[in-house]
């Protein structure tokens, strides 16, 4: 079958504004949108630029706007996308070229959320820090984040306020805030209680819809907010 692939192109060295270009691509229903992008780059236009790595929905590097929604190009199938497919870069972040966006601010906010375990205490048996299954389930959902930025770049608050830490950073803070082995609980809550932290969320639920891993991002934000309020009352 032939698919009409519309790609929003932008080369800062040549273009004043972004523009659309169309490509007729042969595809199978089981092909992924990433396969179509590869065919354009390898056989039609080698200047097409986009980011991808594992191509199996694990690394999160090929998140982009496909048919108006944030998706992973390596997961979205032609049979679901249809015969006319539009592809654009993620919204709310600077475009470097074509579908390639600058993620530096995203990574800076992620690093600022302290996305790592803090614990200098030596376990009694000197071997491992044990955790019950019930405690593990408290952050099971947010532990599945692949940092694709689909949730953050689908958020209208982020579009209008670039200082907002964004859903992805909150999700990764949540993962350690609710980890019973971590000892930096209060420090992370203080970071998330910033004026541009969890309080900026307007519960639009775009983040939930955009997440390719099915994480209930809005619920995670609410749980961090509730934890902050409980800490203030303590």
What secondary structure letter does DSSP report for 89?
P
DSSP string, 118-145: ---PPPTTSS-----HHHHHTSTTGGG-
Contact 198, 192 (CB under 8 A): yes
For the segment 5-60, what is each residue's pLDDT rounded down to a tens digit? Answer: 999 999 999 999 999 999 999 999 999 999 999 999 999 999 999 999 999 999 99
List helix spans (H) across 82-216: 104-112, 133-137, 156-160, 167-177, 185-192, 206-210
Cβ atoms of residues 18 and 9 within 8 Å: yes
DSSP, collapsed to helix, strand or coil, labels residue 20 as strand
pLDDT digits (tens, 9 = 90+) for 129-170: 889 999 999 999 999 999 999 999 999 999 999 899 999 999
d(CA 81, CA 65): 12
In percent, the amount of the chain with pLDDT more than 70 equals: 100
Q: Hey, is 150 helix, strand or coil?
A: coil
**Which stretch of DSSP H or E encloses residue 36?**
helix 33-39
* Predicted TM-score (pTM) of this structure: 0.94
Instruction: Enumerate residues 6+ apart whose C-beta is below 8 A from 69.
Output: 154, 209, 210
Q: Which residues are bridge partners to 123 per DSSP? A: none
Extract the tokens encoding 208.
Answer: 């939930």
The confidence score (pLDDT) of residue 128 equals 86
Report the pLDDT value the prediction gives residue 113, as an integer from 0 to 100. Answer: 96
Q: Comparing 3 with 129, which gets the higher pLDDT? A: 3
For residues 174, 179, 180, 183, the Cα torsion angle rounded to the nearest 10 degrees is: -80
Same fold, 2-101 and 104-233: no
Asked if 108 contacts 174 with a C-beta cutoff of 8 angstroms, the reply is no
Q: Which CATH architecture has domain 104-233?
A: Orthogonal Bundle (1.10)
User: What token pair was written down for 225?
Assistant: 């907010």
- Name the residue with higher pLDDT: 187 or 121: 187
Instruction: Work out the mean pLDDT of the chain and round it to a whole number.
Output: 96
CA-nearest of 209, 190, 192 to 201 is: 192
Could you tell me the fold of the domain covering 2-101?
Ubiquitin-like (UB roll) (3.10.20)
Domain residue limits, the chain: 2-101, 104-233
How many residues make up the chain in this entry? 234
């Amino acid at each position: 079958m032939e698919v009409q692939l519309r790609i929003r192109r932008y080369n800062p060295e040549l273009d004043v504004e972004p523009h659309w270009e169309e490509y007729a691509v042969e595809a199978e229903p089981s092909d992924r949108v990433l396969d179509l992008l590869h065919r354009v780059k390898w056989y039609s236009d080698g200047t097409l630029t986009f980011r991808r790595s594992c191509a199996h929905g694990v690394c999160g590097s090929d998140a982009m706007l496909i048919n108006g929604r944030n998706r992973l190009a390596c997961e979205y199938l032609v049979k679901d996308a249809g015969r006319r497919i539009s592809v654009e870069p993620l919204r709310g972040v600077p475009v470097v070229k074509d579908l390639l966006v600058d993620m530096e601010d995203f990574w800076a906010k992620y690093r600022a959320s302290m996305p790592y375990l803090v614990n200098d205490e030596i376990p009694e048996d000197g071997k491992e820090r044990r955790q019950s299954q019930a405690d593990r389930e408290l952050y099971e959902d947010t532990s599945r984040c692949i940092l694709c930025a689909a949730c953050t770049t689908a958020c209208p608050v982020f579009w209008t306020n670039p200082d907002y830490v964004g859903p992805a950073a909150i999700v990764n803070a949540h993962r350690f805030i609710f980890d019973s082995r971590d000892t930096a609980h209060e420090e992370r809550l203080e970071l998330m209680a910033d004026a541009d932290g969890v309080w900026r969320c307007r519960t639009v639920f775009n983040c939930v819809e955009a997440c390719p891993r099915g994480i209930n991002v809005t619920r995670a934000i609410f749980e961090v907010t509730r934890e902050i309020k409980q800490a203030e009352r303590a």
